[in-house]
Structure 1
């Protein structure tokens, strides 16, 4: 499965926002500069996280994006689904019933075993992401990372 680059962007942005002091926010421009990303496209992705209830957004001189809930309450699955949706990347088109190798209808009464296995893999992937919170991610990064992130994110140029 290959996810779009924007998935990586929102995962890193949410993790970065989780490293800020409580109540602090970062603007699209700050996050785009921090990761060297195109601000207009990043803004669309961050707005998707707001719509999903992962982030909140505020305007004004101290405005920007911040986590909508505690890092312990936000899973990687919520972030990924906010921008990529929840549907499986695999779609069985029943090609086992097409072409020279087509199986007879009576052998296709049950769901294709490949579709079943792909659905099981997708469910396992979703379960793994659902079991991982931003707090869990923060616990795995170096202890010095949050202070560095805060300094570089909000510092000049």
Structure 2
């Protein structure tokens, strides 16, 4: 399974947004420049986050995006679902019914064993993502990053929302 780039981009952005002061926001252009990603594509990703209630937009001078709820209430699963949608990665098409030895539809009383295995893996994957909040990741960043780097990031945010 491969997640789209938008998941990575928005996870990094959402980890940075708690630094935005109340009533302010970071523009898509500033965020795109910071992470060196295409602004138009990032704008689409941010709209998906807005529709999911993860971020909110602030209008006017100092406008842009900010978190819509506390960082400890946003999970990695929230981000993945907002960007990629809620559809499971594996979709069974019942190919066990195809071919010269395919099963008859009436003989498929139990779920496909392949589909069941993938569904079990998907549940574990989603549970792992749901258990990780952006706050827990931000805590790890705070521990692992140098104080100078963290100050650089905070200074950059403050200059943008100035």
Q: TM-score, normalised by structure 1?
A: 0.89
Give the superposition deviation at 1:76: 1.1
The reply to whether residue 101 of structure 1 matches residue 105 of structure 2 is no
- 1:55-66 alignment runs, 5 A limit: 55-66=55-66
Name the CA distance, whole Å, in 2 between partners of 1:63 and 1:103.
59
Alignment partner, residue 150 of structure 1: 154
Confirm or deny: 8 A CA contact 1:58 1:64 kept in the other structure: yes
Give the superposition deviation at 1:103: 3.1
Confirm or deny: 8 A CA contact 2:20 2:157 kept in the other structure: no
Secondary structure of the residue aligned to 2:56 is strand
Alignment partner, residue 11 of structure 2: 11
The alignment's C-alpha RMSD in Å is 1.9
Confirm or deny: 8 A CA contact 1:34 1:153 kept in the other structure: no
Give the superposition deviation at 1:155: 4.6
**Structure 2 unaligned blocks of 5 or more:** none
Secondary structure of the residue aligned to 2:142 is coil
Confirm or deny: 8 A CA contact 1:54 1:68 kept in the other structure: yes
From the superposition, tell whether residues 45 and 105 of structure 1 become closer, same or farther in structure 2 (CA, over 3 Å). Answer: closer
Confirm or deny: 8 A CA contact 1:34 1:152 kept in the other structure: no
Q: TM-score, normalised by structure 2?
A: 0.86
Alignment partner, residue 32 of structure 2: 32
Name the CA distance, whole Å, in 1 between partners of 2:157 and 2:37.
13
